[in-house]
Amino acid sequence: GAGVSQSPSNKVTEKGKDVELRCDPISGHTALYWYRQSLGQGLEFLIYFQGNSAPDKSGLPSDRFSAERTGGSVSTLTIQRTQQEDSAVYLCASRPNRGYEQYFGPGTRLTVT
């Protein structure tokens, strides 16, 4: 079956502009996660959606970052007024209702110039 997809695969933007990153989870998966990975680093948790519950936003680094998940499926991560330190790979993962295994998309590489 289809895996997690993300778009765009690469995004180059100017400092100060807003960007939107999209994630399509695996069909039927109830949980969706966003992570950030800086070059050569590990995964930094950003936000987590589970069903209709309020999202866990505890990992968002600043109020410039926000995310929504419409209809329990597609999610959009928005970064406002981008800064150069926002440059990273943004990874999305989804998880079925039971278990801990998360399945990752290919990521969006964001470059802020």
Partner 1 sequence: GQQLNQSPQSMFIQEGEDVSMNCTSSSIFNTWLWYKQDPGEGPVLLIALYKAGELTSNGRLTAQFGITRKDSFLNISASIPSDVGIYFCAGPRRFGNEKLTFGTGTRLTIIP
Which positions touch partner 1 (CB under 8 A)?
Answer: 4, 31, 33, 42-43, 45, 48, 50, 56, 91, 93, 95, 99-107, 109
| C-beta of residue 80 within 8 angstroms of C-beta of residue 11 | no
Q: Residue 38 in 3-state DSSP?
A: coil
CB of 14 or CB of 100, closer to partner 1: 100
| Ramachandran angles phi, psi of 106, nearest 5° | -75, -15
Residue nearer to partner 1 on the CB measure, 63 or 101: 101
Q: How far apart are CA 67 and CA 69, in angstroms?
A: 7
Q: What is the smallest separation between the CB atom of 85 and partner 1, expressed in angstroms?
A: 20
Minimum CB separation of residue 91 from partner 1 in Å reads 5
